Chain A
Amino acid sequence: GNSVTQMEGPVTLSEEAFLTINCTYTATGYPSLFWYVQYPGEGLQLLLKATKADDKGSNKGFEATYRKETTSFHLEKGSVQVSDSAVYFCALSERWGSSNTGKLIFGQGTTLQVKP
């Protein structure tokens, strides 16, 4: 079945450091890929998305490129801030269809802690 694997955390960085959180997926067909972020005590917020191979999603300085050849969607940011401290989830969405429901399949989440 479809699955998502993220690098284990926690990841601890100093402010202004470069961030990479690895995400790989297994899927049939052509899923959409997402990064969601969960700040402490809050729900999930969509951070960025990509819907086809070679698409680059970007938002708030974060980027991720849909790599079909390596089945990856790694999250990067050039300079992290303390306010980026949160849990980051990589997810894929099965295409809506007769047997697929569009449900999201999540990775296990990676906790990022940024220190001043």
Chain B
Amino acid sequence: DSGVTQTPKHLITATGQRVTLRCSPRSGDLSVYWYQQSLDQGLQFLIQYYNGEERAKGNILERFSAQQFPDLHSELNLSSLELGDSALYFCASTPGGQGPFGEQFFGPGTRLTVL
């Protein structure tokens, strides 16, 4: 158990809908990263937050957004969903800005299925 929690575990929805994925980092970790894992694109970095502020963006669509709250949990919002958004979404956390050796601790993921 990494100490990172994600909810829900599974999400099934329809095209055009909006969903919110939630991540609680390990206790004390300030930085949260979101990744998308899909069959065609592999594991890709989406966005990073550090202590409530957005720090970096990766291959994140404009339909997607995220935020980190004062209690450090983070939410990833996906809107106008398309079939191609079906994927496994992971969050990871690190202590401070980066782990001592750069390692990240991953949650179990949320599997999103868009029908």
Nearest-Cβ distance from residue B26 to partner chain A, whole angstroms:
13
A32–B101 touching, CB < 8 Å: yes
The answer to whether A105 touches B45, judged by C-beta atoms less than 8 angstroms apart, is yes
Interface size classification for chain B? 20 to 34
Contact stretch, chosen from A15-23, A77-85, A89-97: A89-97
B102 in complex: contacting residue of A43, A89, A95, A108, CB < 8 Å? A95
B16: Cβ under 8 A from any A Cβ: no
Residues of A contacting B102 with CB < 8 Å?
A: 31-32, 34, 49, 51, 93, 95-96, 102
Of B45, B97, B107, which is within 8 A of A104 by CB?
A: B45
Query: How close is B43's CB to chain A, nearest CB, in angstroms?
Result: 4
The answer to whether A42 touches B108, judged by C-beta atoms less than 8 angstroms apart, is yes
Q: How far is the CA of A95 from the CA of B97 in the complex (A)?
A: 10
Chain A residue numbers with a CB within 8 Å of B98 are 93, 95-96, 102
Please pick, from A34, A43, A51, A103, the residue contacting B45 in the complex, using a CB distance under 8 A.
A103
Q: Would you call B105 and A104 a contact (CB within 8 A)?
A: no
Contact with B along A31-43 (1 / 0, CB 8 A): 1101010000011
Verify if A28 is at the interface (C-beta below 8 Å from B): no
The residue that B48 contacts in the complex, of A45, A103, A108, with Cβ under 8 A, is A103
CA distance A25 to B90 in the complex (A): 23
Given contacts A101-B55, A104-B104, 11 further A-B contacts (CB under 8 A): A31-B102, A32-B103, A49-B101, A51-B101, A51-B102, A93-B98, A93-B104, A95-B102, A96-B97, A101-B48, A102-B48
Interface residues of B (CB under 8 A from A): 2, 31, 33, 35, 42-45, 48, 55-56, 58, 90, 92, 94, 97-99, 101-109
- Which residues of A are at the interface with B, using a C-beta cutoff of 8 A? 31-32, 34, 36, 42-46, 49, 51, 89, 93, 95-96, 101-109
**Please, could you name 18 A-B residue pairs with CB atoms under 8 Å apart, sorted by A?**
A32-B101, A32-B103, A45-B106, A46-B104, A93-B98, A93-B104, A95-B98, A101-B55, A101-B56, A102-B48, A102-B98, A103-B45, A104-B43, A105-B45, A106-B43, A108-B42, A109-B42, A109-B43
